[in-house]
Amino acid sequence: MRDLTGSGTGRLTIIGSSILIFFIILAAFAPYIAPYDPTEKVGLSLEPPSKQFWFGTDNLGRDILSRVIYGARIALSISFMGVAIAFAIGVPLGLISGYLGGWIDRILTLIMDAMYIFPGLVLAIAIAAVLGPGVVNISLSIAVVYAPTYFRIIRNQVASIKNELYVEAARALGAKNWEILIRYIFPNVLPSVVVVLSMNLADALMTEAGLSFLGLGIAPPTPDWGFDLSSGQRFVLSRAWWGIMFPGLAIVSAALGFSMFSEGINELLNPTIRERR
Task: Tell me the residue type at 150.
Answer: Y
Spatial distance between the Cα atoms of 33 and 211, rounded to a whole number of angstroms: 27
pLDDT of residue 175: 78
Tens of pLDDT along 41-50? 999 999 999 9
Count the alpha carbons within 13 Å of 191 in the hemisphere toward its beta carbon.
10
Is residue 226 within 8 Å of 217, Cβ to Cβ? yes
Task: Label residue 122 exposed, middle or buried (CB < 10 Å: 0-12, 13-18, 19+).
Answer: exposed
Handedness of CA 79, 81, 87, 93 (dihedral sign): negative
Q: What is the per-residue pLDDT across 144-170, written as a single tens digit (0 to 9) for each?
A: 999 999 999 899 888 888 878 888 887
Inter-residue contact 224 to 64 (CB < 8 Å)? no
- Is the confidence at residue 11, as pLDDT, over 90? no
Higher-confidence residue: 196 or 250?
250
From 93, 91, 83, 43, select the one nearest 63 (Cα to Cα). 43
230-261 pLDDT, tens digit each: 998 888 877 889 999 999 999 999 999 988 88
HSE value, Cβ hemisphere, 13 Å, CA-based, for 65: 17
Q: Is it the case that residue 5 has pLDDT exceeding 60?
A: no
What is residue 107's predicted lDDT score, i.e. its pLDDT?
92
DSSP code per residue over 44-69:
-TTPPS-SSSTT-B-TTS-BHHHHHH
> How much is the pLDDT for 78?
94
* pLDDT, tens digit (0-9, with 9 covering 90-100), for 180-191: 888 888 888 887
Q: What is the DSSP letter of 239?
A: T
> For 101-185, where are the alpha helices, taking DSSP H only?
102-116, 120-131, 135-161, 165-172, 177-179
Task: Calculate the alpha carbon distances from 134 to 128, 131, 211 in Å.
Answer: 9, 9, 11
For the chain, the residue count is: 277
Supply the mean pLDDT for the chain: 86
Position 177 pLDDT exceeds 90: no
Average pLDDT of 122-143? Answer: 90
Task: Indicate if the pLDDT at residue 88 is higher than 60.
Answer: yes
* Confidence label for 220 from pLDDT (cuts 50, 70 and 90): confident
Query: Residue 171 contacts by C-beta under 8 Å, 6 or more apart in sequence?
Result: 180
pLDDT of residue 193: 82
The letter for the amino acid at 257 is G
